[in-house]
Structure 1
Amino acid sequence: MGKAARKKNKAPKVREKFVAQPFEGLAAEPELIALREFVPSATAPLSLVDSPDRGITLATVLPMAAAAFVRTDGEVFVGLQVQTRSSDISRDLGRAVRWALEAEPGDVLSVPDTTSAPAEGERLQDLLVADAELDVTVHTDFGWWLPEDTDADGEVKLSLDRANEAIMPTERLGAGSYWVLAGEKAHLRWVRPEPENKLLQALARLSAAGELGLGEGSRYAGSFRAHGLLVPVWDLDPEAHAREWTEPAKQLGVRLDEALASLDDQPLDATERRARDGLIGRQLTLR
C-alpha cells in the first residue's frame, strides 16, 4: 500500500477542546469542585434524570483511586478523584455513571474512558437533575468503602490504611464551604459560584470596609482557581473547633451576598479598586 493510500485510510485525529468549567449549569457545581479538589473523604447520593430510583453514590476517593466500583453488597460508587482525565471531566464522570448503571457486585472500573470520541448524552449535565444540590456526608475515614461488618484484606486493606493515614480533618460549614485542618494550620476553603471578576469585586468591597474576615483569629489568605470557579481561602485559628466558625462563615456569606448585589448600582471606588488589585495578586497553591 502506497503512502497516499495509507493517508486516505488513516482515521482522522480528534482534536478535543479543553473544558475549563466542566460542571457549569449544575446547581451542585461548587460542591462537585470541593469534593474533587480538597475534601478527603465524603459521599453524596446522585439524583439521576432517567433512573431516579437507581442508587448511585458520588464519592471523593475510591480504593486504588478507581473511577467506579460496586461493593459486594450491591452499593454503587463513582469516584471524583481519579488517576487519569480527559479534556472534559464532566464527560469522564458521566461515562463512569453510565458504566455503574450496568455493573454487577464486585465490578471495578479502574480508570474512566478518556479515549472514546465524544457522544451526546454522556456528560453529568445530561444525566443529573440540574437543580439538585448534593446532600454531602463528610467522613472521618474511608470505612465506607466496605460493607458493614466486613474486614479489608489484601490491596484494599493497604489502600484503606494509606488513605486513612493521609486524611486531613475536614468539616462542611455550608454549600461548597469547608473547614480543613492542614497540619498546624486551619483554613476555610469556599468554592463560590459567581464569575471570578464579579466575586473579586465583592471581596474587594468587603476588604475596603474591613469586613472580609471571620472575626478574631482569622484572616483572608488569598484564592485559587479550580475548574472555572474561584475558591477564596481564610486562615483560621487551629485551636478553635470547626463549629466555632459556622456562624461567622454564615455572616460572612450574608455580607458577601450584599456586596455582590450592590455592584450593579455602585461601581468600585478608588479604594475598593486598589483592594481588588491586592486580592488579585494573592493567588494560592494547595499543598
Structure 2
Amino acid sequence: MAKRSRTKARDTETTPGEVGPRQPCPCGSGRRYKACHGAPGGAPDVFVGRPFQGLPSECDVVALRELVPAATAPLTLKDGVGDGRPVQLCSLLPMAAPAMVRDSGQIWLGLQVQHNFGDPARDLGAVLLKAFESEPGIVGLTDAPGEGPRLQDLVEGDSLDVTVHDGFDYWIADVDDKESMAAALEQANTAASPTARLASVEAAYWTNVGSKEHLRWVMPEPENELLDALARLHAAGKDVVAEGSRFVGMFRAHGLLAPVWDLPVGTGAAVLEEPAARFAADLAEALADTSDLTAEQRAARSGLANRQVTIR
C-alpha cells in the first residue's frame, strides 16, 4: 500500500507551469498527458503550447474555443489573402464543422472542432486556405495539414470585435429555408449556457450554468508572474469581484491561465463591470511589484497553484 501511494505522489507532483502525467493533455484530446503529448509517439504532431499567440485578441480566441458557446468575430485578412472575401471566426459551427463556405461566399471558421493535430492555429490556417478553393458547404480536415501558414500568418489587426450571441440563430441568419434547421437549432440553443462578455476588461466572460454562475477570465501574463500577483491580491483580500463571490481557482488553456470565480445565482454580468475594472487595476499594480512575497503571500500562492478547475 505504501509503495502504491508513493508512486501516485510521484505521478502527480509537478512544478508550476508543468502539466502532470495524470492531468488532461492541454492539446484538448481528452486523454491524459502521459498517454498523449507526454508519451513518445503518443500524439501525431508536435504540440504547440501557446498556439494562438500573435493573433488579434489572443485571450478572446482562447475563450471562444474553450468557454463561450455562441460568439462570432470578423477577421481582417492580410493583403492578397482570399481576394477580399469576408471571413468570420465562430466559436462553434453546426456539427462542429471546421469551416463553412456560405452561399454568399463568406467563410466561417469554427474554433470548437473534433480534430486536433497539435497546433490549432495551423489547422485553422489550413482549413481557411482550403475553404477559399471550395464550393458552398462544410469544409474540414481529415489528415494533419503538414507544413503551411498558421492563422496568424493570414490575418492582421490588434483586436477582434467579439459578439456573444444568446444562441445559435446566427447559423441561419442568411438561410432562406429556416424551417429545415429548426429542430437542430432548438437543440443547440437548449444546450448553450447563457454567457456575456464584460465590456470593462478584456476576455472576461460571465456565464450561468443553472446551479451557479461563474466569471472566467483568460489572462495573457506569464504564469509565474500572474500567480505571484494573484497571490498578493488574495492575501490582501482584493480578489472579490462581487458580493458573495469566491475565487475558486484557475485552469490552463493553450498556454494561458484563466482565473475562475463562483458567483451567487442571480448576480448577472452587469454588476461585475465596475469590480472587474477595479480588479484589473489592482492586478496591474501587483504585477508591477517585484518585491519578494511575504510568508502569507507564499502560502496563498501555493494554494492557488493547486486550485485547478475544470473548464466546463
Q: TM-score range by the shorter chain?
A: 0.7 to 0.9
User: How many Å apart are 1:117 and its aligned residue?
Assistant: 2.3
Aligned to 1:10: none
**Which residue of 33, 37, 40 corresponds with 2:66?**
37
TM-score (norm 1): 0.87
Aligned to 2:295: 270
Instruction: State whether structure 2 residue 137 is matched by structure 1 residue 112.
Output: no
Range with bigger deviation, 160-169 or 201-210: 160-169
User: How many Å apart are 1:189 and its aligned residue?
Assistant: 0.3
Range with bigger deviation, 32-41 or 166-175: 166-175
Gap runs ≥5 in structure 2: 1-42
User: How many Å apart are 1:148 and its aligned residue?
Assistant: 4.2
Identity over aligned residues, as a percent?
48
User: How many Å apart are 1:184 and its aligned residue?
Assistant: 1.5
Give 3-state SS (helix, strand or coil) of 1:115's partner: coil
**Which residue of 143, 155, 160 corresponds with 1:134?**
160
Q: How many residues align?
A: 266
- The CA RMSD over aligned residues, in Å, is 1.9
Aligned to 1:197: 224
Instruction: State whether structure 2 residue 171 is matched by structure 1 residue 145.
Output: yes
Give per-residue Cα distances to partners, 1:106-155, cap 9 Å, x unaligned.
3211x335423223xx10121121x521100000011111134734355x
One-letter identity of the residue aligned with 2:301: R
Aligned to 2:109: 78
Gap runs ≥5 in structure 1: 1-13
Pair 183,141 (structure 1): closer, same or farther in 2 beyond 3 Å: same
User: How many Å apart are 1:163 and its aligned residue?
Assistant: 1.1
One-letter identity of the residue aligned with 2:229: A
Cα pair 1:85 1:114 within 8 Å, conserved: no
Give 3-state SS (helix, strand or coil) of 2:76's partner: coil
Aligned to 1:248: 275
Aligned to 2:95: 64
Instruction: State whether structure 2 residue 50 is matched by structure 1 residue 21.
Output: yes
One-letter identity of the residue aligned with 1:268: L
C-alpha distance in 2, partners of 1:124/1:117? Answer: 14
Range with bigger deviation, 54-63 or 19-28: 19-28
Pair 71,27 (structure 1): closer, same or farther in 2 beyond 3 Å: closer
One-letter identity of the residue aligned with 1:65: A
Range with bigger deviation, 232-241 or 14-23: 14-23
Range with bigger deviation, 76-85 or 159-168: 159-168
Give 3-state SS (helix, strand or coil) of 2:62's partner: helix
Give per-residue Cα distances to partners, 1:197-249, cap 9 Å, x unaligned.
11110000001111011141211010000011111001112212211111111
One-letter identity of the residue aligned with 1:274: A
Cα pair 2:168 2:189 within 8 Å, conserved: yes
Aligned to 1:8: none
Cα pair 1:202 1:260 within 8 Å, conserved: yes
C-alpha distance in 1, partners of 2:62/2:202? Answer: 11
Instruction: State whether structure 2 residue 187 is matched by structure 1 residue 162.
Output: yes
TM-score (norm 2): 0.80
